[in-house]
């Protein structure tokens, strides 16, 4: 499969496999990366609350990193972010 046939999520997952092969191919590493990046988003929120950062400087970068980590997990399974979001939103919006 070449890049033109791959979703963005599959491309990101393939990049992750090349970039960090030492982590192996166990799914826990992708999930751990999601947790790590989520922690950095929270850390940025704390910095903003303490006045050490502004949301327009660090938060977009950290959220982007989190989306890339989530995309890697999705790509591993052949899902797209849009599919995941649409499926969950269909249920969540009815609550």
What pLDDT was estimated at residue 47?
92
At 82 the pLDDT is: 95
DSSP letters, 19-34, are: H-GGGTT-HHHHHHHH
Instruction: Rounding to the nearest 10 degrees, give the CA dihedral for residues 33, 37, 6, 25.
Output: 0
State pLDDT tens for residues 26-84: 788 889 999 999 999 999 999 989 999 887 888 899 999 999 999 999 999 999 999 99
pLDDT value for 51: 92
pLDDT tier for residue 18 given thresholds of 50, 70 and 90: confident
pLDDT of residue 23: 61
């Amino acid at each position: 499969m070449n890049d033109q046939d791959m979703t963005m999520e599959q491309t990101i997952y393939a990049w992750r496999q090349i970039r960090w092969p030492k982590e192996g191919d166990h799914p826990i590493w992708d999930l751990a990366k999601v947790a790590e990046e989520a922690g950095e988003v929270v850390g940025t929120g704390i910095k903003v609350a303490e006045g050490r950062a502004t949301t327009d400087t660090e938060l977009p970068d950290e959220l982007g990193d989190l989306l890339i980590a989530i995309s890697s997990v999705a790509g591993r399974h052949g899902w797209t972010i849009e599919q995941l979001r649409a499926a969950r939103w269909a249920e969540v919006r009815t609550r």
